[in-house]
Amino acid sequence: MEGLAWGRRYVMVEPTHFRVEYVINPFMDPADQPDPARAMAQWRGLVAAIERHGGVVEALPQRADAPDMVYAMNLGLGLERAGGAPHVVLSHMRYAERRMETRSAQPWFAAHGFATSYVGSDGVGPHLEAGDAFAFGDALIVGYGPRTEELALKHLATELGVRVRGVRITHPGMYHLDLAFCPLDEHRALVCPAALDEASAAALLDLVPEPLVLTEEEALTTFCANSIVIGSTVVMPACPDRVRAQLEEWGFEIVLVDVSEFHKGGGSIRCLTNPVDVRIGRDLPAVPGGEVVLA
């Protein structure tokens, strides 16, 4: 089986200053700090697993004043265009505690050959956090509500010339779409409908021809949707037996990597990794002028 066409090139942030300093999601508790050495060892284990299975990792340094910067998924949305330079739309973080991250990410991406743009920057424009946006089927599927604002969808669609399908996140514990949705290949994805309002859950299930539906408990207690896919290998923090049985029946190989220290900040494997090889024209159809479809 071929698996997923994108997801071989990742940007990550080396966790030299990872702490839980404030509370911006229900998992964070400053009384329960990560162990720095264990976190670094787990992060290195994740890098090694990605490389062993055919992925490439580029790491940028963590700012000392940005303890959540390790969750690199949220730095921005990286996209390729056939024959064109890669482009990253930098996030405009919902919470001030994370806004400085993109100030360091911008020069790093620019130095690595990416054209960069912002959907709004400090104090102006709608919030966008890239952990809410995934190419699947005919569109960029974007979760909005807790972090990304609905208005950002219009900006994204117009700027990138793609169709954006918005789904409304209502679950406080699944505050980014990547905690509830993981594309597996062209037809399949992990989907936790409990993260979304009723109309959006139905719309998302409609968009995925073969969904592997996760219960709220599976998604919240194991972070299993917060996984990444390299070809036909699914790199996961944990995998309930029922989910494993279906993935293996479909031909996926499951690789478990312990990143439990990072669960203390409310993120897992997907949050730590930012795929920058999604290609407009291959993984995401070009739609001149852009289009937004809300559930």
Candidates 10, 53, 68, 153; binder of ligand ARG (CB under 6 A) is 68
Residue ranges in 91-130 that form contacts with ligand ARG under rule CB under 6 A: 98
Cα–Cα distance for residue pair 63/61, rounded to 1 Å: 7
Q: Given the rule CB under 6 A, which of 78-86, 105-113, 136-144, 264-272 is the region that contacts ligand ARG?
A: 264-272
266 binds ligand ARG (CB under 6 A): yes
Number of residues that bind ligand ARG (CB under 6 A): 16
Candidates 13, 60, 73, 278; binder of ligand ARG (CB under 6 A) is 73
Residue 145, phi then psi, degrees to nearest 5: 135, -95
229 binds ligand ARG (CB under 6 A): no
Min dist. Cβ of residue 37 to ligand ARG (A): 20
Min dist. Cβ of residue 74 to ligand ARG (A): 5
Candidates 78, 145, 265, 275; binder of ligand ARG (CB under 6 A) is 265
Say which residue the tokens 């790093």 belong to: 108
Candidates 71, 118, 134, 136; binder of ligand ARG (CB under 6 A) is 71
Inter-residue contact 277 to 9 (CB < 8 Å)? yes
Inter-residue contact 156 to 133 (CB < 8 Å)? yes
Min dist. Cβ of residue 267 to ligand ARG (A): 3
Candidates 162, 214, 271, 278; binder of ligand ARG (CB under 6 A) is 271
Min dist. Cβ of residue 273 to ligand ARG (A): 9
Min dist. Cβ of residue 248 to ligand ARG (A): 26
Question: CA nearest 88: which of 294, 253, 247, 274?
Answer: 274
Alpha-carbon distance values, 84 to 8, 113, 295 (Å): 18, 11, 32
For ligand ARG, the closer of residues 118 and 223 by Cβ is 223
Quick one: CA dihedral 153, 156, 161, 167, positive or negative? negative
Cα–Cα distance for residue pair 177/145, rounded to 1 Å: 10
Cα–Cα distance for residue pair 4/13, rounded to 1 Å: 23
Token digits of residue 254? 């499951």
Neighbours of 244 (CB within 10 A): 17
Say which residue the tokens 């995998």 belong to: 239
267 binds ligand ARG (CB under 6 A): yes
Token digits of residue 123? 């104090």
Cα–Cα distance for residue pair 204/55, rounded to 1 Å: 28
Residue nearest to ligand ARG (CB): 131
195 binds ligand ARG (CB under 6 A): no
| Residues linked to residue 78 through DSSP beta bridges, in sequence order | 88
Token digits of residue 57? 């990792």
For ligand ARG, the closer of residues 236 and 290 by Cβ is 236
10 binds ligand ARG (CB under 6 A): no
179 binds ligand ARG (CB under 6 A): yes
Token digits of residue 119? 């959907």
Residue ranges in 138-167 that form contacts with ligand ARG under rule CB under 6 A: none
For ligand ARG, the closer of residues 168 and 290 by Cβ is 168
| Residues linked to residue 124 through DSSP beta bridges, in sequence order | 121
Q: Which residues bind ligand ARG (CB under 6 A)?
A: 24-25, 28, 68, 71, 73-74, 98, 131, 176, 178-179, 265-267, 271
